[in-house]
């Protein structure tokens, strides 16, 4: 394979709403460019980018695939990202690696939440943007409605460059507004140029002049000289239009729109051409900001002669080839025999084999230059780390991944699989910064957290297919606690006479509420009624008791125990007997000390579109939350702060996604414990005993 330089490399992430046609568009582009020998289909599970068995089964992308291919004398790295919101982390990795974000919008369903999210993410990371209006062949497709919607939602920078010509509700040709040429596609998907007379017809019917004027105006905005020419009423040359759109994309001033069909191949050849003409090359993007070990800011320019800096955009755990890392080379050159430094950890890494990827197909390469995206295997760096030459160690910024907000408890289906599960989960979590797997210190359950139900399902099925371990998911237990509200005195006597010498321990105690998570133990014994050497045994007995309260067997907090009095037997008393006596006193005392269940309360911070705040506040009330405040954040969004009982929040992530159509997000941080309302006690006790039996 040729080594491509940055001026000939185009890094394009395909993003957009779920099922808007990203993977199919990638497939059609690869087929048209000759990088694959068939136009695979989602329905048949034969696409290059959805190669994972889980993607084939679900007929949806669940991870970002890299497909690098040559088109003319360019190298195009397509990153096909998933549209399902659960896999937002994968989408972010794809956008971070790319220089241009190509957003697919179905001509059937128009602008959706995923379209807006993709556009916002691209803008936030300063990437060039472009829209492909897909599924143009569909009987319900409406390109012009979609175009109007794009302009309404994203503003006047939206600029059509390929539009369909429709006669009697049928598309008769596709018009390239830059070339001013019309094409139709034959049955094999080949473009056929149309007669000029047909173009004239189109001109009349579709007010072509209006569309050309819109492009000209957008192009004029990109440069003063062009603006002058525009005001003088002179038409732009084709080169001026191409350069103008190209510069406009680079500066974030123009978002070109094309129309495509992955089914009939309409517009696919033109889109490839536009990649070469309009889309910024890897060397045109602004230098990436980085921070060196001594906190100095520096810029990483896309220059092969500079020291190496490569950002790990994504890692994939594979049970066979090991860990595979997608590297975006920001600066310098990478070679397969190189030793590099991980700027985050300071550790040395030996780069082994390097590959270009075409979906699952790997082609080994010896080196690659700044601007390219390649895969390295078995390096230990994680997503977001920067690999550098020893002479310039600096970390490039990786965008923050969304927080895991949906959790389930994980249990092995088959006993003995625990260590397999732990190793597998560790590897799976390593490849996905939006997943976490850890033990809840209170309930001792293993908790898997991610962005939604499908996200966790995929993690579980990967665990099965790649690591051979099956698990069951259940709603995590809530770490309830118990405490007391009243001071009581209690007595405990353990006396047994059996055979030789017996057992004797006797204590009188007081139990009172206090502010402490640990048991507080004091003694106020007069005159040696309980000898000093048995005090530790009494305390030990109580420490064991506070692990399981009298209401539902939950840990007991906020209790002070005072040993007041008791008695002993010179022969029969033992540590064991005093432990038993303390435990009898504890159980008796607790029942009379007005025991209560405590439930965990967290601080919740929700960010959501303004129009959803009323619904969310109502929902928080229903979930026994206390809203503390609201404040505007960013454009059209409100942040709601509340205190919420954790037991009511398990499916809040799903609720919020549904009510905000995916635009809301939230974080929850543990705050304190509060008494559980008495009416919920029977339900909670029943649930805990059911869990204990399971
Ligand atoms: N008629 C028609 N159907 C299409 C076209 N492109 C995609 N589809 C269909 O739309 C559905 C979704 O296509 P995908 O390519 O999987 O969409 P996607 O955006 O990659 O989906 P996610 O990755 O899951 O978000 C599939 O059933 C495709 O066959 C098209 O150009 N024409
Ligand atoms: Mg897809």
Least confident of 60-64, 183-187, 197-201, 594-598: 197-201
Computed over every residue of the chain, the mean pLDDT equals 92
CA-wise closest residue to 7 among 415, 544, 483, 370: 370
Reading phi first (left if > 0) and then psi (alpha if -120 to 50, else beta), residue 59 is in left
**468-514 pLDDT tens trace:** 999 999 999 999 999 999 999 999 999 987 767 789 999 999 999 99
Q: Is 219 in the pocket of ligand 1 (CB under 6 A)?
A: no
Instruction: Give the residue among 107, 51, 54, 108 at the shortest CA–CA distance from 80.
Output: 51
Tell me the best of 15, 18, 19, 264 to mutate to test the pocket of ligand 1, counting ligand atoms within 8 Å of each CB and taking the most.
Answer: 19
Q: Which of 165, 169, 171, 170 is nearest to 197 (CA)?
A: 165
Residue nearest to atom 8 of ligand 1 (CA): 21
Pair of tokens at residue 553: 């067997």
Segment 625-638 shows an average pLDDT of 91
User: Picking from 10-14, 291-295, 455-459, which range would have the lowest pLDDT averaged per residue?
Assistant: 291-295
Decide: 134 in ligand 1 pocket, CB within 6 A: yes
278-216-282 Cα angle (round to 5): 15
C-alpha 142 to ligand 2 mean position (Å): 22
Quick: pLDDT tens for 596-605.
Answer: 999 999 999 9
Task: Note the pLDDT of residue 655.
Answer: 95
Looking at residue 168, its pLDDT comes to 81
Kindly state the helix (H) or strand (E) to which residue 601 belongs, with its residue range. strand 595-609
pLDDT in tens, 650-689: 999 999 999 998 889 898 988 999 999 999 999 999 988 8
Residue 491 pLDDT: 94
| pLDDT band for position 275 (cuts 50, 70, 90) | very high
Cβ neighbors of 73 (< 8 A, separation 6 or more) are: 8
Residue 284 token pair: 């045109």
- Asked whether the predicted pLDDT for residue 559 surpasses 90, the reply is yes
**How is residue 573 annotated by DSSP?**
B
For 341-362, write each residue's pLDDT tens digit.
Answer: 999 999 999 998 999 999 999 9
- Ligand 1 atom at minimum distance from 61 CA: 23
Question: How large is the angle between the packed helices 224-231 and 238-250, nearest 10 degrees?
Answer: 130
Does the C-beta of 60 come closer than 6 Å to ligand 1? yes
Q: Is 20 in the pocket of ligand 1 (CB under 6 A)?
A: yes
User: Average pLDDT in the 322-330 region?
Assistant: 92
pTM above 0.75, yes or no: yes
Would you call 93 helix, strand, or coil by DSSP? helix
CA distance 386 to 484: 53
Nearest in space to 119 (alpha carbons), one of 166, 151, 87: 151
pLDDT in tens, 15-51: 999 999 999 999 999 999 999 999 999 999 999 999 9
For ligand 2, the distance from its centroid to the CA atom of residue 150, given in whole angstroms, is 21
Per-residue pLDDT, 214: 84
Q: Is the shortest distance between the CB of 54 and ligand 1 below 6 Å? A: no
Residue 430 CA to residue 423 CA, distance in Å, equals 11
For the segment 152-196, what is each residue's pLDDT rounded down to a tens digit? 999 988 999 999 988 888 898 898 999 888 899 988 888 888 876
At residue 228, does pLDDT exceed 70? yes
Q: Which of 61-70, 429-438, 520-529 tops mean pLDDT?
A: 61-70
- Ligand 2: centre distance to CA 449 (Å): 23
pLDDT digits (tens, 9 = 90+) for 353-408: 999 999 999 999 999 999 999 999 989 899 999 999 999 999 998 889 988 989 99
Nearest CA to ligand 1 atom 3: 135
pLDDT of residue 424: 92
Task: Determine the Cα–Cα distance for residues 298 and 280; give it in Å rounded to an integer.
Answer: 23
pLDDT of residue 673: 94
User: What is the model's pLDDT at position 603?
Assistant: 94
Mean local confidence (pLDDT), 418-439 = 92
Question: Is 281 touching ligand 1 by the criterion CB < 6 Å?
Answer: no
**pLDDT for 166:** 85
**Residue whose token pair is 């000209």:** 216
Strand residues in 397-532 grouped as ranges (E): 406-412, 436-439, 446-450, 471-474, 481-484, 488-496, 503-513, 520-523
pLDDT-derived band at 641 (thresholds 50, 70, 90) equals: very high
- pLDDT bin (cut points 50, 70, 90) of residue 619 is very high
Distance 26 CA to ligand 1 centre (A): 10
In the predicted structure, residue 203 carries a pLDDT above the cut 60:
no
Phi, psi of 658 (to 5 degrees): -70, -45
Ordered structural domains, the chain, with CATH: 6-284 (3.40.50.300), 288-396 (2.40.30.10), 406-474 (3.30.70.870), 482-593 (3.30.230.10), 599-693 (3.30.70.240)
Per-residue confidence band for 200, with pLDDT thresholds at 50, 70 and 90:
low
Model pLDDT, residue 2: 62
| Band (201; pLDDT cuts 50, 70, 90) | low
Residue with CA at minimum distance from ligand 1 atom 24: 60
User: Which tokens is 556 given?
Assistant: 């007991």
Residue 323's pLDDT is: 85
Indicate the burial class of 359 (C-beta count within 10 angstroms; 0-12, 13-18, 19 or more): buried
Q: Supply 15's token pair.
A: 């993003």
pLDDT of res. 202: 56
* Mean pLDDT of all residues in 203-209: 63
């Amino acid at each position: 394979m040729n080594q491509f330089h940055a001026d000939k490399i185009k890094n394009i992430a395909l993003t957009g709403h779920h099922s808007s046609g990203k993977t199919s568009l990638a497939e059609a582009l690869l087929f048209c460019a000759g990088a694959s020998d068939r136009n695979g289909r989602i329905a048949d599970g034969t696409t290059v980018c959805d190669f994972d068995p889980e993607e084939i089964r679900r007929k949806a992308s669940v991870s970002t695939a890299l497909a690098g291919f040559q088109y003319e004398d360019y190298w195009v790295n397509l990153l096909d990202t998933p549209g399902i919101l659960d896999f937002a982390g994968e989408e972010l990795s794809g956008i971070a690696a790319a220089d241009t974000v190509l957003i697919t919008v179905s001509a059937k369903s128009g602008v959706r939440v995923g379209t807006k999210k993709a556009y916002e993410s691209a803008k936030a990371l300063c990437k060039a943007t472009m829209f492909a209006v897909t599924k143009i062949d569909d009987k319900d497709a409406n390109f012009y409605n979609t175009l109007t919607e794009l302009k309404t939602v994203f503003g006047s920078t939206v600029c059509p460059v390929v539009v369909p010509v429709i006669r009697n509700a049928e598309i008769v040709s596709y018009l390239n507004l830059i070339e001013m040429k019309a094409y139709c596609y034959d049955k094999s998907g080949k473009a056929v140029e149309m007669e000029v007379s047909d173009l004239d017809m189109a001109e009349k019917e579709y007010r072509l002049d209006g569309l050309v004027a819109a492009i000209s105006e957008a192009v004029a905005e990109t440069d003063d000289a062009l603006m002058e020419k525009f005001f003088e009423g002179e038409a732009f040359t084709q080169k001026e239009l191409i350069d103008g759109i190209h510069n406009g994309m680079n500066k974030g001033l123009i978002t070109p729109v094309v129309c495509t069909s992955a089914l009939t191949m309409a517009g696919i050849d033109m889109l490839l051409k536009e990649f070469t003409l309009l889309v910024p090359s890897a060397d045109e993007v602004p230098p990436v900001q980085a921070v060196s070990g001594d906190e100095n800011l520096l810029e990483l320019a896309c220059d092969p002669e500079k020291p190496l800096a490569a950002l790990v955009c994504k890692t994939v755990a594979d049970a066979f080839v090991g860990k595979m890392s997608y590297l975006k080379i920001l600066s310098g050159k990478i070679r397969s025999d190189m030793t590099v430094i991980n700027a985050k950890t300071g550790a040395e890494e030996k780069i082994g084999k390097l590959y270009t990827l075409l979906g699952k197909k790997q082609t080994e390469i010896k080196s690659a230059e700044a601007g390219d995206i390649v895969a390295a295997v078995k390096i230990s760096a994680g997503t977001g780390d920067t690999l550098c030459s020893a002479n310039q160690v600096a970390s490039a910024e990786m965008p923050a991944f969304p927080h895991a907000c949906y959790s389930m408890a994980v249990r092995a289906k088959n006993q003995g699989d625990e260590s397999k599960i732990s190793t597998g989960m560790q590897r799976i979590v390593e490849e996905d910064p939006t997943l976490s797997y850890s033990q809840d210190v209170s309930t001792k359950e293993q908790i898997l957290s991610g962005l939604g139900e499908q996200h966790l399902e995929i993690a579980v099925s990967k665990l099965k297919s790649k690591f051979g371990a099956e698990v069951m998911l259940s709603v995590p237990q809530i770490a309830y606690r118990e405490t007391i509200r009243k001071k009581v005195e209690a007595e405990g006597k353990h006396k047994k006479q059996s055979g030789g010498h017996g057992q004797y321990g006797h204590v009188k105690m007081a139990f009172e509420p206090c502010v402490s998570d640990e048991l507080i133990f004091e003694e106020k014994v007069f005159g040696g009624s309980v000898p000093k050497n048995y005090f530790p045994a009494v305390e030990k007995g109580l420490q064991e008791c506070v692990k399981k309260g009298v209401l539902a067997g939950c840990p007991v907090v906020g209790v002070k125990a005072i040993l007041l009095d008791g008695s002993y037997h010179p022969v029969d008393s033992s540590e064991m007997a005093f432990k038993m006596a303390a435990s009898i006193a504890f159980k008796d005392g607790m029942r009379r000390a007005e025991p209560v269940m405590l439930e965990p309360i967290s601080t919740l911070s929700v960010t959501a579109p303004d129009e959803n705040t009323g619904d969310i506040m109502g929902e928080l009330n229903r979930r026994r939350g206390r809203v503390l405040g609201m404040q505007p954040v960013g454009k059209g969004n409100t942040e709601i702060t509340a205190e919420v009982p954790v037991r009511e929040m398990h499916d809040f992530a799903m609720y919020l996604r549904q009510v905000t159509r995916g635009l809301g997000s939230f974080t929850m941080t543990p705050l304190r414990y509060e008494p559980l309302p008495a009416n919920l006690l029977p339900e909670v006790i029943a649930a805990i005993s059911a869990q204990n039996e399971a």
